[in-house]
């Protein structure tokens, strides 16, 4: 079986009313390559943070933060900062995997709508002193958001999750804490992966997802789960390496006739649990196919809400937990 070399992948009235609440300086020259900004040393304010849409001045350490993607919600709580607003993704409310940080840093936090359809009115009503989002989520609303409070944008979410955490750290004056949290996760990933490779003889791991489409998704090393597996030093099938035609592509869609490309020593199977049950129905042509039955790898069903939803350090730790259980090794979570 061919094995991919291990790699680290690494509106107007609302705006006017909100602008009277908080005056800011934002928006200068756009740097399309900026994934994370530059700023002064840790903890010092005021500070100017460079980000995808320009530069934003943050006058004081943020105490009322609104995060408009679940990955940014996770990042704010990871960095032990006060969250007052968030967006719902799939299920309403803050997810259980965030644990006690919900009570410690988001006890009074309120939903301002769903991902990509957040309410400007609800955001303004929270009187935030920092708004965090991404171009792919709220690009059309950047000017309105900036009129409400200092706003920083990443270009995207997903594969850039580590740099996104670093950008949030810069906006919060918590650069060192961001590096500590990322470093602790990477150290754990390396430990878990080394034990898996030692006990299971360097297994090749495939990630297959059924998401309500007529195709199955084979997640590449450039995806969130793929980055976690790479951080653990775990091998992947050739079919799940980077897309040579599009380095930003995180998955390969295959028909039931090509499901053999999911072959590996261990095949992680994730199914989106949509309320209408479309994913389970769409998975049937694959799961009932003779080709699926001929796959030799050990198939392991995982919780889609753990592997695909929380694109964050917290989510990465959940994947490491599941990998430890799958291979019967120490979780290295002490």
pLDDT tens readout for residues 270-310: 999 888 888 899 999 999 999 999 999 999 999 999 999 99
Q: How far is CA 73 from CA 83, 120, 165, 230, in A?
A: 8, 17, 10, 24
Nearest Cα to Cα of residue 307 among 251, 231, 235, 226: 226
CB 85 within 8 A of CB 66: yes
Q: Are residues 267 and 121 in the same domain?
A: no
In a domain, 111, yes or no: yes
| Per-residue pLDDT reduced to its tens digit, 246-271 | 998 999 999 999 999 999 999 999 99
pLDDT in the model for residue 41: 53
In a domain, 87, yes or no: yes
* pLDDT higher than threshold 50 for residue 7: no
Q: How far is CA 172 from CA 58, 80, 139, in A?
A: 9, 10, 22
Nearest Cα to Cα of residue 313 among 154, 169, 111, 210: 169
pLDDT in the model for residue 150: 98
Exposure string over 259-280, b if 16+ CB within 10 A, otherwise e: bebbbbbbbbbbbbeeeeeebe
How many Å apart are CA 89 and CA 320, to the nearest integer? Answer: 22
Tokens found for residue 309? 């939803």
- Phi, psi of 235, rounded to the nearest 5 degrees: -75, 155
Give the mean model confidence (pLDDT) for residues 30-35: 38
Q: Are residues 152 and 234 in the same domain?
A: no
Q: Are residues 86 and 196 in the same domain?
A: no
Q: What predicted TM-score, i.e. pTM, was given to this entire model?
A: 0.86
Looking at 7-16, 138-147, 192-201, 319-328, which range is the least confident one? 7-16
In a domain, 134, yes or no: yes
| Per-residue pLDDT reduced to its tens digit, 55-114 | 999 999 999 999 999 999 999 999 999 999 999 988 899 999 999 999 999 999 999 999
Q: Are residues 152 and 196 in the same domain?
A: no
* pLDDT higher than threshold 50 for residue 165: yes
Q: By three-state DSSP, how is residue 5 classified? A: coil
How many Å apart are CA 60 and CA 236, to the nearest integer? Answer: 45
Q: Are residues 29 and 165 in the same domain?
A: yes
In a domain, 102, yes or no: yes
| Per-residue pLDDT reduced to its tens digit, 122-156 | 999 999 999 999 999 999 999 999 999 999 999 99
In a domain, 95, yes or no: yes
In a domain, 312, yes or no: yes
In a domain, 185, yes or no: no
Q: Are residues 51 and 161 in the same domain?
A: yes
Q: Are residues 161 and 201 in the same domain?
A: no
In a domain, 295, yes or no: yes
Q: Which residues pair with 58 in a beta bridge?
A: 47
Q: Are residues 59 and 167 in the same domain?
A: yes
The domain that holds 136 is classified in CATH as 3.40.50.1980
334 pLDDT band (50/70/90 cuts)? confident
pLDDT in the model for residue 91: 87
Domain span at residue 309?
192-327
Give the mean model confidence (pLDDT) for residues 194-217: 97
Look at the chain and report how many structural domains it folds into: 2
Give the mean model confidence (pLDDT) for residues 38-51: 79
113 sits in the region (left: phi over 0; alpha: psi -120 to 50; else beta) called left
Rounded to the nearest integer, the mean pLDDT of the chain is 89
Q: Are residues 143 and 273 in the same domain?
A: no
DSSP 8-state secondary structure symbol assigned to residue 141: G
Q: Are residues 119 and 204 in the same domain?
A: no
Q: Are residues 111 and 59 in the same domain?
A: yes
225 pLDDT band (50/70/90 cuts)? very high
Give the mean model confidence (pLDDT) for residues 4-32: 37
Q: Are residues 125 and 196 in the same domain?
A: no
pLDDT in the model for residue 306: 94
Q: Give the CA angle between residues 317, 319, 321 to the nearest 5°.
A: 70
CB 208 within 8 A of CB 268: yes
């Amino acid at each position: 079986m061919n094995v991919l070399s291990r790699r680290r992948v690494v509106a107007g009235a609302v705006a006017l009313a909100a602008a009277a609440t908080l005056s800011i300086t934002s928006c200068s020259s756009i740097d399309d390559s900026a994934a994370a900004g530059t700023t002064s040393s840790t903890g010092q304010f005021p500070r100017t943070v460079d980000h995808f849409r320009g530069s934003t001045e943050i006058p004081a350490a943020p105490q009322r933060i609104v995060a408009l993607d679940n990955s940014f919600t996770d990042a704010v709580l990871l960095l032990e900062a006060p969250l007052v607003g968030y967006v719902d993704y799939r299920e309403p409310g803050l997810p259980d995997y965030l644990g006690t940080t919900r009570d410690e840093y988001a006890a009074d936090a309120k939903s301002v709508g769903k991902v990509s359809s957040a309410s400007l009115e609800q955001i303004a009503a929270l009187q935030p002193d920092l708004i965090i989002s991404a171009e792919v989520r709220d690009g059309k609303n950047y000017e309105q958001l900036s009129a409400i409070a200092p706003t920083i944008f990443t270009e995207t979410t997903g594969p850039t999750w580590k740099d996104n955490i670093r950008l949030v750290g810069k906006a919060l004056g918590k650069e060192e804490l961001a590096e500590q949290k990322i470093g602790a996760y990477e150290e754990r990933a390396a430990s878990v992966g080394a034990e898996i490779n030692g006990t299971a003889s360097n297994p090749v791991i495939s990630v297959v997802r059924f998401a309500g489409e007529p195709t199955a998704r084979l997640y590449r090393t450039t995806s969130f789960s793929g980055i976690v597996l790479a951080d653990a030093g775990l091998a992947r099938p050739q079919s799940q390496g980077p897309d040579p035609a599009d380095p930003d592509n995180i998955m390969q869609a295959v028909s039931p006739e090509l499901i053999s490309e999911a072959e590996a020593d261990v095949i992680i199977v994730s199914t989106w649990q949509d309320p209408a049950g479309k994913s389970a129905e769409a998975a049937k042509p694959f799961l009932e196919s003779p080709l699926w039955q001929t796959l030799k790898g050990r198939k392991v069903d995982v919780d889609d809400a753990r592997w695909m939803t929380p694109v964050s350090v917290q989510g990465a730790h959940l994947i490491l937990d599941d990998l430890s259980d799958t291979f019967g090794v120490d979780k290295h979570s002490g």
